[in-house]
Structure 1
Amino acid sequence: MPLGRDLQPTAALRGNLQFTHAGLVTATYFINPLGYGLRRASDKFDVKLAHHTLINNLPNGSLLLGIQARRDMVDVLSKMVEGVELDECEDYAGEVVACYDRIHAIGPRTRIHLLSIPVGITNSGMSGVSRMWRGTTAVDATAIARADLKTYDEQANSILSKIGGEFDPVPVPAALFKWLWEHHLARGADDDLVAPLRAGALNDATSAVFGSAVLDEGAQADSKRRVRPSFVPMIKVVRPDAEHRPSYQAMLTPRSFPYGGMAFPGGSEFLTMTEGMREVTVDWGMRVSTRPAEQVLKSNEVNLRRLGEQMDQRDVEVSFAQSTLMSKAQMLGEYHEHFEVNGGESEVTFTTVIAVGGHSRETTQDAVNTLKRRYTRFQVELTAPVGAQIDLWSMLVPGSSPRRAYDDFAHIIPSDMWAGFVPFVSNEVGDDSGPVIGVNLLSGNFEPIHFGIMEAALHDLSASFAVTGELGSGKSFFLKLIAVLVHDMGGQFLAIDRSQVGEWAHFAAAIDDAVVIDLTDPSVSLDPLRMFDPRIAGERALDSLLPLLDLSPTSAAGTAAGNLLSVRGLAEHRIHSMLDLVHVARRLRDAGGTDADYADLAIRLGAIADRVPVLFDPTLPTLRLDAAATVVRSHKLALPTAEELVTPHLYNRLPLTKRLGSALYELVGVAAREAFLTDNGRFGLLVGDEAHHFTQTQVGAAVTSDFSRDGRKHLAAIGLASHDPATDFQGAAHNLIPNRFVFRQRDETLARNSLAWLGVDLKEAPFLLQMLREETSPPIGPGRQVPEERRGEMFMRDALNRIGRGKVLGPARLDRAMAIGSTPTSAVGTRVAERDGQRVS
Structure 2
Amino acid sequence: MVFGTDLQPTTAIRGNLQFTRSGLVTATYFMQPLSYGFRSASDKFEVKSAHHALVNNLPVGSLLLGIQSRLDTLDTLGKMVEGIDLSTCADYADEVVAAYGRIRAIESRTRLFLLTIPVGSTNTGLNTMTRTLRGSTTFDATTLTRADLDKYDNTASEVLSRIGGEFDPVPVPAAFFQWLWEHYLSRGAGNDPSAPTRPGALDDATAAVFRSAVLDEGARTDSTRRLRPSFAPVLKVVQEDPEAPPSYQTLLTPRSFPYAGMHFPGGSEFLSVLEGLEDVTVDWAIRITTTPADTVLKNNELSLRRLGEQMDQRDQEISFAQSSLMSKAHMLGEYNQHFEVHPGESEVSFTTVLAIGSPTRDITLDAVNTLKRRYKRYQIEMTAPVGAQTDLWSLLIPGSTHRRAYDDFAHIIPSDMWAGFVPFTTHQIGDDSGPVIGVNLMSGHFEPIHFGIMEAALHDLSASFAVTGELGSGKSFFLKLIAALVHDMGGQFLAIDRSHVGEWAHFATAIDDAIVIDLTEPTISLDPLRMFDSAVAGEHTMDSLLPLLDVSATSGIGTAASTLLTPRGLNEHHIKCLLDLVLVARTLATDSDTADDYRELAQRLSSLIDRVPVLFDRTLPPLRLDAAATVVRTHRLALPTAEELTTPHLYQRLPLTKRLGTALYELVGVAARTAFLSDNGRFGLLVGDEAHHFTQTHVGAAVTSDFSRDGRKHLAAIALASHDPASDFQGAAHNLIPTRFVFRQRDEVLARNSLEWLGVDLNSTPYLLQILREETSPPTGTGRQVLEARRGEMFMRDALNRIGRGKVLGPARIDRARAISSTPTTNLAGRSSSGAFP
Per the shorter chain, which TM-score range? over 0.9
What is the CA-CA distance between 1:233 and the residue it aligns to? Answer: 0.6
What is the CA-CA distance between 1:124 and the residue it aligns to? Answer: 7.8
Identity of aligned residues (%): 75
What is the CA-CA distance between 1:318 and the residue it aligns to? Answer: 2.4
What is the CA-CA distance between 1:572 and the residue it aligns to? Answer: 1.2
Matched to 2:431, the amino acid is D
The gaps in structure 1 that reach 5 residues or longer are 830-841
What is the CA-CA distance between 1:443 and the residue it aligns to? Answer: 0.2
What is the CA-CA distance between 1:143 and the residue it aligns to? Answer: 2.3
What is the CA-CA distance between 1:596 and the residue it aligns to? Answer: 1.1
What is the CA-CA distance between 1:599 and the residue it aligns to? Answer: 1.6
Q: Which moved more, 1:165-174 or 1:197-206?
A: 197-206
Is residue 556–residue 597 contact of structure 1 (8 Å, CA) maintained in 2? yes
Please say if 1:414 is aligned against 2:414. yes
What is the CA-CA distance between 1:69 and the residue it aligns to? Answer: 0.2
Is residue 280–residue 363 contact of structure 1 (8 Å, CA) maintained in 2? yes
Distance 2:501 2:91 in 1: 27
Deviations 1:73-115 (Å, cap 9, x if unpaired)?
1110110000000000000001001111001000000000000
Deviations 1:273-303 (Å, cap 9, x if unpaired)?
1001121000000000000000000111111
Matched to 1:634, the amino acid is T
Is residue 24–residue 128 contact of structure 2 (8 Å, CA) maintained in 1? no
Please say if 1:240 is aligned against 2:240. yes
Please say if 1:731 is aligned against 2:731. yes
Distance 1:155 1:450 in 2: 38
Structure 1 partner of 2:289: 289
Matched to 1:665, the amino acid is Y
Distance 1:759 1:470 in 2: 19
Distance 2:410 2:72 in 1: 35
Is residue 5–residue 21 contact of structure 1 (8 Å, CA) maintained in 2? no
Distance 2:578 2:128 in 1: 94
Structure 2 partner of 1:488: 488
What is the CA-CA distance between 1:203 and the residue it aligns to? Answer: 2.2
Matched to 2:469, the amino acid is G
What is the CA-CA distance between 1:309 and the residue it aligns to? Answer: 1.9
Any idea what SS the aligned residue of 1:321 has? helix
Distance 2:156 2:353 in 1: 25
What is the CA-CA distance between 1:208 and the residue it aligns to? Answer: 1.4
Any idea what SS the aligned residue of 2:429 has? coil
Distance 1:828 1:269 in 2: 54
Deviations 1:768-818 (Å, cap 9, x if unpaired)?
000000000000145100000000000000010000100000000000000
**Could you say if the C-alpha distance between residues 130 and 103 of structure 1 is closer, same or farther in structure 2, counting changes exceeding 3 Å?**
closer
1:210-249 map, 5 Å:
210-249=210-249
Is residue 5–residue 213 contact of structure 2 (8 Å, CA) maintained in 1? no
Is residue 14–residue 141 contact of structure 1 (8 Å, CA) maintained in 2? no
**Could you say if the C-alpha distance between residues 634 and 4 of structure 1 is closer, same or farther in structure 2, counting changes exceeding 3 Å?**
closer
Any idea what SS the aligned residue of 2:25 has? strand
How many residues are aligned here? 827
Deviations 1:651-676 (Å, cap 9, x if unpaired)?
01111000000100000000000000
Structure 2 partner of 1:15: 15
Deviations 1:460-493 (Å, cap 9, x if unpaired)?
2100000000000000000000000000000000
Distance 2:797 2:242 in 1: 47
1:726-765 map, 5 Å:
726-765=726-765
Any idea what SS the aligned residue of 1:356 has? strand
Question: CA RMSD for the aligned pairs?
Answer: 1.8
What is the CA-CA distance between 1:137 and the residue it aligns to? Answer: 4.6
Is residue 177–residue 207 contact of structure 1 (8 Å, CA) maintained in 2? no
Please say if 1:32 is aligned against 2:35. no
Structure 2 partner of 1:837: none
Any idea what SS the aligned residue of 1:263 has? coil
Structure 2 partner of 1:166: 166
Matched to 2:653, the amino acid is R
What is the CA-CA distance between 1:413 and the residue it aligns to? Answer: 0.2
Structure 1 partner of 2:555: 555
Is residue 538–residue 565 contact of structure 1 (8 Å, CA) maintained in 2? yes
Matched to 1:695, the amino acid is T
Matched to 2:810, the amino acid is G
1:323-722 map, 5 Å:
323-591=323-591, 593-722=593-722
What is the CA-CA distance between 1:326 and the residue it aligns to? Answer: 1.0
Any idea what SS the aligned residue of 2:595 has? coil
Matched to 1:545, the amino acid is L
Deviations 1:677-700 (Å, cap 9, x if unpaired)?
000000000000000000000000
Is residue 293–residue 339 contact of structure 2 (8 Å, CA) maintained in 1? yes
Is residue 669–residue 686 contact of structure 2 (8 Å, CA) maintained in 1? yes
**Could you say if the C-alpha distance between residues 38 and 129 of structure 1 is closer, same or farther in structure 2, counting changes exceeding 3 Å?**
closer
What is the CA-CA distance between 1:181 and the residue it aligns to? Answer: 0.2
Q: Which moved more, 1:121-130 or 1:10-19?
A: 121-130
Is residue 131–residue 137 contact of structure 1 (8 Å, CA) maintained in 2? no
Any idea what SS the aligned residue of 1:195 has? coil
Structure 2 partner of 1:276: 276
Is residue 12–residue 139 contact of structure 1 (8 Å, CA) maintained in 2? no
Matched to 1:185, the amino acid is L
Distance 2:142 2:541 in 1: 77
Is residue 792–residue 808 contact of structure 2 (8 Å, CA) maintained in 1? yes
Structure 2 partner of 1:835: none
What is the CA-CA distance between 1:602 and the residue it aligns to? Answer: 1.3
Is residue 21–residue 128 contact of structure 1 (8 Å, CA) maintained in 2? no
Is residue 507–residue 820 contact of structure 2 (8 Å, CA) maintained in 1? yes
What is the CA-CA distance between 1:242 and the residue it aligns to? Answer: 1.4
**Could you say if the C-alpha distance between residues 523 and 780 of structure 1 is closer, same or farther in structure 2, counting changes exceeding 3 Å?**
same
Is residue 34–residue 425 contact of structure 1 (8 Å, CA) maintained in 2? yes
Distance 1:452 1:593 in 2: 59
Deviations 1:618-673 (Å, cap 9, x if unpaired)?
11000000000000000000000000000001101111000000100000000000
What is the CA-CA distance between 1:716 and the residue it aligns to? Answer: 0.1
Distance 1:243 1:10 in 2: 26
Structure 2 partner of 1:838: none
Distance 2:734 2:663 in 1: 23
Distance 2:87 2:213 in 1: 47
The gaps in structure 2 that reach 5 residues or longer are 830-838
Distance 2:541 2:254 in 1: 71
Q: Which moved more, 1:629-638 or 1:556-565?
A: 556-565
Distance 1:757 1:589 in 2: 52
Any idea what SS the aligned residue of 1:733 has? helix
Is residue 692–residue 728 contact of structure 1 (8 Å, CA) maintained in 2? yes
Distance 2:499 2:23 in 1: 73
Any idea what SS the aligned residue of 2:308 has? helix
Distance 1:140 1:318 in 2: 63
Structure 1 partner of 2:836: none
Is residue 176–residue 207 contact of structure 1 (8 Å, CA) maintained in 2? no
**Could you say if the C-alpha distance between residues 436 and 138 of structure 1 is closer, same or farther in structure 2, counting changes exceeding 3 Å?**
farther
What is the CA-CA distance between 1:319 and the residue it aligns to? Answer: 1.8
Any idea what SS the aligned residue of 2:622 has? coil
What is the CA-CA distance between 1:312 and the residue it aligns to? Answer: 2.1
What is the CA-CA distance between 1:198 and the residue it aligns to? Answer: 1.5
Is residue 30–residue 171 contact of structure 2 (8 Å, CA) maintained in 1? yes
Distance 2:453 2:800 in 1: 14
What is the CA-CA distance between 1:131 and the residue it aligns to? Answer: 12
Structure 2 partner of 1:768: 768
Distance 2:718 2:230 in 1: 64
Is residue 505–residue 828 contact of structure 2 (8 Å, CA) maintained in 1? no
What is the CA-CA distance between 1:139 and the residue it aligns to? Answer: 4.1
Is residue 23–residue 131 contact of structure 2 (8 Å, CA) maintained in 1? no
